[in-house]
Structure 1
Amino acid sequence: MQPGGTECGKSWRHVGRGVGLALSLAAGLAAIQPGGANAATSAPNTGGNQPSSSGGKRCTLLVLATGGTIAGQPNGFSAVGYKAGSLSGADLVASVPALGHLAQLRVEQIANIPSQDMNEAVWRHLAARIHQADIHHEACGIVITHGTDTMEESAYFLHKTYGGHTPVVITGAMRPASATSADGPANLLAAARTALAPQADGRGVLVVMNDQIHSARNVSKTHTTALQTFRSLNGGVAGWVDDDQVRFAQAPDTRTPDHDPLYDLPGHDLPRVDIIYVHAGLDAQPVEDAVARGAQGLVLAGVGDGNAPKAVLEALDKARAKGVLVVRSRRPAEGFTNRDVEVNDSARGFVAAGRLSPVQARLLAQLIIATGPKGVGEVQRAFDAE
């Protein structure tokens, strides 16, 4: 075991891209506490990697709390109404005593917000913290508690900017902590088991909900209230948590520049990229407004395989002429947006999103634009690598 590590049965190699920047972000964002959250709230049994009775060191599980329904409490609006982000991460951990049998626990409150208020500042704080925890071997696994509304976006953002080997698992709940049949405690326990599993190493960021394990590359929320709302539509579920067993159905991918590559976070805000949601009768106005507001990229949530009315396509042509990146994605939940089918992408200078949903395509476009000017061919290859 390397100095400062813990006995987890995992290798402590890490990919160092973006680490220096992440550490500087950690220092710069330490004072940013959306929703009045405390950045370093610890669970009662926090204490680092404490020696076990056998003389070794216990694994540490790092829990980073951001709020969400999992931390929800009644709001008085109705019999089922609740306010997300009401409980602390320490409260959540205390409600699952079994977690203490798995590892030494450390809880930090990154934010305490409903996930509809999730934003780039919190993403950067999370990215910096997980990079820091990985390079300093602070934990065997990291669990992030999060609201479900934007969970897939946070998971994909972190997946594209984190190259470490400490497993990172995001979880949440569809029912608030105050519900009679709250799913949060079971999801938190399943996420902890996954984060501590040796076979989770090298899989990037994972989402664990309802005893299913999903890759951040594939997962989407598909139902407003159902417990089984998260599905991996174009890639299949990555595995399951079966009682105390973590079972993966797929071998981990090897990340290369040509397959699921990593991106460095810039020192400035990510560029503005807007999503244009297509419907019958849509005109050019949303495209023109987005460009006027300074959008450097536009993602088309198109009908069918990413199509749009003639007026919208012509407005996108004008946006391209001004240097705005245009990416075609699709409204349907499943399927791929293929290049040069009904829309002549090659002639128009558009990029086809392939397997990516509109929200994923938006995030990837932001990361690509942030790294500097690129030709359409290079951007298309980046999307194809997903």
Structure 2
Amino acid sequence: MYCSSRLRAFAAAATLLAAAAIAHAQAALPNVVILATGGTIAGAGASAINSATYAAAKVGVDKLIAGLPELSKVANVKGEQVFQVASESLTNDNLLTLAKRVSALAKQPDVDGIVITHGTDTVEETAYFLTLTVHTNKPIVMVASMRPGTALSADGALNLYDAVSVAGSKDAMGKGVLLTMNDSIESGRDVSKNFNIKPSAFVSQWGSLGMVVEGRNYWFRAPVKRHTMNSEFDIDTITSLPPVEIAMGYEGVASTAIDALGKSGIKALIHGGPGNGSVADRIVPSLQKLRADGIVVIRSSRVPDGFVIRNAEQPDDKYDWVVAHDLRPQKARILAMVALTKTSDTKELQRIFWEY
């Protein structure tokens, strides 16, 4: 009887010690919140061989987390379903909602990092918007996948594991918004989707910031453009975004799109031209008219790499146009919308495009 009582006491003590050890281990882990928005990472195909044909935004965040128990080894993870949308259908209002939620979470002392699951089609745009507007030095990590979780060689699980690992890392602090995919850590400002079906779809023309391998970060460069804590823009003060549209330049282009957009109430037009953001001679008058009507004209380039040189190809000073520096048209639109919440002065806008 005595021995039995002692054994029960020892067992109870061992259980308490084990629970204390688990609690201590959990307390030592970073706290990471996963905000889910949809996309391929939450997609499902009809069979395992469907890696390019599938339905996006089908799996909820709780199921994503439950399907990856390894996350508990790198962070204390909580999930929130912000919305469930294929990223090509996201709106400006979605951007504002997401950014405001990220900003609120970043202010919480019990949150060390934030992960956002997103569709690949527009993840670079959302990443840049957050880069410009959320004031925090805590890691904000975008993550996506090129294949649904039901496919052979699905990439979403490892991408998500890497994202949580990076978001909980102290060495990721202060580096702006990041994207982790295919083992790479990319700058949210610089990264672009360059291939529509390969897992290695995302690249930055100025190079990756680093790599994450088996939960360890390896850094090779840091962003130098203004971002997050150093940004003059703050999502907590932005209530709406002005309309900005894109018109592409190409051989044989007519002024039809530009003329129509000029009558639609836009505040700025991004011209995505060939080469150095070149503008066909026959549409210059239409762009000049837009500027005369108070619409800001921004010259960008459809070329994947390089940057637009001011007063080359077109006399930007004479026409009072802005150049988009190295931003592709879709990212130039994001910066233009954010910048126009502060100013419509073209000299100030040009400064902003140089600095961000």
Contact 1:207 1:213 in 2 (8 A): yes
CA distance in structure 1 between the aligned counterparts of 2:170 and 2:93, rounded to whole angstroms? 31
Aligned-pair identity (%): 34
Select the residue among 179, 182, 185 that pairs with 1:213: 185
Alignment-derived partner of residue 17 in structure 1: none
Alignment-derived partner of residue 246 in structure 1: 217
Alignment-derived partner of residue 313 in structure 1: 284
SS of 1:67's equivalent in the other structure is coil
Q: Which runs of 5+ in 1 are unaligned?
A: 1-49
Tell me if 1:385 matches 2:355: yes
CA distance in structure 2 between the aligned counterparts of 1:326 and 1:293, rounded to whole angstroms? 15
Contact 1:202 1:253 in 2 (8 A): no
1:295 to partner: Cα distance: 1.1
CA distance in structure 2 between the aligned counterparts of 1:94 and 1:66, rounded to whole angstroms? 17
SS of 1:98's equivalent in the other structure is helix
C-alpha change, 1:255 and 1:224, in structure 2 (3 Å) is closer
Alignment-derived partner of residue 234 in structure 2: 264
Cα distance per residue 1:333-366 (max 9 Å; x no partner): 0010110011000001111111111111111111
Alignment-mate amino acid for residue 125 of structure 1: T
Contact 1:59 1:104 in 2 (8 A): yes
1:251 to partner: Cα distance: 3.7
Task: Give the alignment's TM-score, normalised by structure 2.
Answer: 0.89
Alignment-mate amino acid for residue 131 of structure 1: S
Tell me if 1:137 matches 2:109: yes
C-alpha change, 1:172 and 1:372, in structure 2 (3 Å) is same
1:285 to partner: Cα distance: 1.2
Cα distance per residue 1:202-248 (max 9 Å; x no partner): 01100111000011111000001011110001x21100012221111
C-alpha change, 1:54 and 1:343, in structure 2 (3 Å) is closer
1:113 to partner: Cα distance: 1.0
Q: Which moved more, 1:268-277 or 1:326-335?
A: 268-277
Q: How does 1:67-78 map to 2 (within 5 A)?
A: 67-74=38-45
Q: Which moved more, 1:136-145 or 1:259-268?
A: 259-268
Alignment-derived partner of residue 156 in structure 1: 128
Select the residue among 93, 108, 120 that pairs with 2:92: 120
C-alpha change, 1:189 and 1:307, in structure 2 (3 Å) is same
Tell me if 1:345 matches 2:322: no
Tell me if 1:284 matches 2:255: yes
Alignment-derived partner of residue 173 in structure 1: 145
CA distance in structure 1 between the aligned counterparts of 2:79 and 2:287, rounded to whole angstroms? 46
Contact 2:131 2:227 in 1 (8 A): no
Alignment-mate amino acid for residue 276 of structure 2: D
1:52 to partner: Cα distance: 2.8
C-alpha change, 1:334 and 1:252, in structure 2 (3 Å) is closer
1:95 to partner: Cα distance: 1.5
Alignment-mate amino acid for residue 209 of structure 1: M
C-alpha change, 1:55 and 1:381, in structure 2 (3 Å) is closer
Q: How does 1:1-386 map to 2 (within 5 A)?
A: 52-53=23-24, 56=27, 58-74=29-45, 79=50, 81-233=53-205, 235-251=206-222, 253=224, 255=226, 261-265=231-235, 267-374=238-345, 376-386=346-356
Contact 1:163 1:262 in 2 (8 A): no
CA distance in structure 2 between the aligned counterparts of 1:75 and 1:116, rounded to whole angstroms? 21
1:269 to partner: Cα distance: 2.4
Cα distance per residue 1:97-129 (max 9 Å; x no partner): 110111111100001111111122221122111
Alignment-mate amino acid for residue 261 of structure 1: S
**Root-mean-square deviation (CA), in Å?**
2.2
Alignment-mate amino acid for residue 301 of structure 1: G
1:137 to partner: Cα distance: 1.7
CA distance in structure 2 between the aligned counterparts of 1:372 and 1:338, rounded to whole angstroms? 23
Larger helix fraction of residues: 2
C-alpha change, 1:181 and 1:254, in structure 2 (3 Å) is closer
1:56 to partner: Cα distance: 4.6
Q: Which runs of 5+ in 2 are unaligned?
A: 1-20
CA distance in structure 1 between the aligned counterparts of 2:134 and 2:238, rounded to whole angstroms? 16
1:55 to partner: Cα distance: 9.2
CA distance in structure 2 between the aligned counterparts of 1:56 and 1:193, rounded to whole angstroms? 16
